[in-house]
Amino acid sequence: MAKRTERTGTAPSAQDATQFALDPVLTAAWLYYEEGLKQDEIAARFGISRATVFNLLQKARDEGAVSVSIDVARIGALRLAQALSRSSGLAECYVVPASGNDRPVAERIAGLGARVLEPRITAESVLGVAWGRTVMALSQALAPLHLPSTTIAQITGSAIGTYDFSPELCTSNIALKVGGRCVNMLAPGIVSSPEMKRLLMAEPIVAQHFALLRNCDITLFGVTDLGEGTSLMHSGFMTQPTLADYRAHGAVGFVSGYFFDADGQPVLTDLDARHLSMPREDFLAVPTRICVGGGPSKIAALTALLRGGYANVLVTDETTARAVLARIG
């Protein structure tokens, strides 16, 4: 049997050195993923640090030079995911294992959510997108696609305070990654009066947008809790008195423009007559409704969301899934 050649420290050929100088990202990615060299071996070969190799490989993934494919069906087959699906009526559930790296749980959920979403988007898809930090993180984790006839549409109106995860930014970022058409809602999320909402809804450009939303085959959204740290208040989307009013009426969570109670039933106040968002009946008629969210603060809201049937595909973390399953039982 031929003895395996030790590659560590092997000097690169002139051709390899030239190729590395011209495109270090692609060269490092090829040697690591296709040739099977370790990061230390690549570092020694080109006289660079292991940290530099790590950064080159990360850049290769970010730029789309490398696509890492995970069989998400196997994650969906985990016993916990299956148990939560059976108990809640979900069509599919995907759970991020508790044992992972030290990234925030929302980022880990977003990464898995991107893998769940990617194969579902087709050239003819109309994807409705809501705003939120986890949705924004998912948009950043998506692999680049080339689907120019896909439509990515905003399903809630705008709020000036959500600058780092605004409805417009979440929608446009996903459209950029998908390579599709971005359609933002040209209207505020909350207007000054019911009459102003009626007038805006009668505007042709706004009416056309809501007609487009009725053609969605996928929606993507997070879930928002109503605790002191809720993004609804810190984003400037809602005021403390408004949230207190919803809580007083029994609301425990918010999703894509709708407040709901512990049983998932709608909670309405005077604000709803001034709120521009995809109508609840249209939202619930979308065939694939993907919710991405988790963490201790979201357990009550997520439990209620599932009881209300807002999502039929869930991407969450293991700790949250176990807590929700215990509540739904």
- Kindly report, residue by residue over 73-100, the tens digit of the pLDDT: 666 658 899 999 999 999 999 999 886 6
pLDDT in tens, 270-295: 999 999 999 999 999 999 999 999 99
How many other CB atoms sit within 10 Å of the CB of residue 159? 19
Mean pLDDT for all residues in the chain: 88
**pLDDT of the residue at 2:** 34
**pLDDT of the residue at 102:** 75
Q: What are 37's two structure tokens?
A: 């060299």
**pLDDT of the residue at 7:** 39
pLDDT confidence tier of residue 8, bands split at 50, 70 and 90? very low
Cβ atoms 223, 294 nearer than 8 A: no
Residue 239 has pLDDT above 90, yes or no: no
pLDDT confidence tier of residue 9, bands split at 50, 70 and 90? very low
Residue 42 has pLDDT above 80, yes or no: yes
Average pLDDT over residues 234-263: 88
Cβ atoms 226, 179 nearer than 8 A: no
**pLDDT of the residue at 228:** 75
Average pLDDT over residues 137-153: 94
Half-sphere exposure of 42 (CA within 13 A, CB side): 25
Write down how long the chain is: 329
**pLDDT of the residue at 64:** 78
Residue 254 has pLDDT above 50, yes or no: yes
Residue 183: strand, helix, or coil: strand
Instruction: Please indicate whether residue 12 or residue 132 has the higher confidence score (pLDDT).
Output: 132
pLDDT confidence tier of residue 131, bands split at 50, 70 and 90? confident
Contacts of 48 (CB under 8 A, 6+ apart): 42
Cα–Cα distances in angstroms (integers) from residue 170 to residues 115, 136, 164, 220, 298, in the given order: 17, 5, 9, 10, 20
Cα(57)–Cα(51) distance, rounded to whole angstroms?
10
Burial group, residue 19, by CB count within 10 angstroms (0-12, 13-18, 19+): middle
Q: What is the pTM for the complete model shown?
A: 0.78
